[in-house]
Structure 1
């Protein structure tokens, strides 16, 4: 299984979308500053999470969530 996720910085206006085969490990890396891209924005909350059966399907979904309409979808989750 593969996981597509969106995490949001608690203190700043920043949403990160990623893909992994081990979400717990990956989320811990983001929270503890082990990822250079997200380190300045930690700590995070999980904004969105999806489980997909294959890497190509997960990659396709990740690309969508990083697109303009995907970002609008993620922003709409903040208002709920």
Structure 2
């Protein structure tokens, strides 16, 4: 089943995170784990930590780029844990 959205992967090799967007999460995860993506080729195996559904690939790419601006590990871990994006935090 095709699903459009933003995803966060974690490398089981080195613990690093990778953020991306797709219109087919199952296929994209397979592509990452086969080593066909230059950015994650040396991070395999990769585990899907969080997937957030979007209405369109345009929306997914927008969320991906916004999320990639936050480079801190603790912010990504918060998104993984509770699904709250940094711009949605309440003080």
Unaligned 5+ residue runs, structure 1? none
Does the alignment pair 1:32 with 2:34? yes
Q: Write the deviation string for residues 26-66 of structure 1: whole angstroms up to 9, x where unpaired.
A: 10011111112111000011111111002221112111221
More strand, by proportion:
1
Shift of 1:71: 5.0
Structure of greater relative contact order (alpha carbons < 8 Å, 6+ residues apart)? 1
Please report the RMSD computed on the Cα atoms of aligned residues, expressed in angstroms. 2.1
TM-score calculated relative to the size of structure 2: 0.73
Unaligned 5+ residue runs, structure 2? 82-91
Shift of 1:8: 0.5
Count of residue correspondences: 78
TM-score calculated relative to the size of structure 1: 0.81
Matched residues in 1 for 2:27 and 2:47: separation?
15
For the pair shown, which has the larger CA radius of gyration, 1 or 2? 2
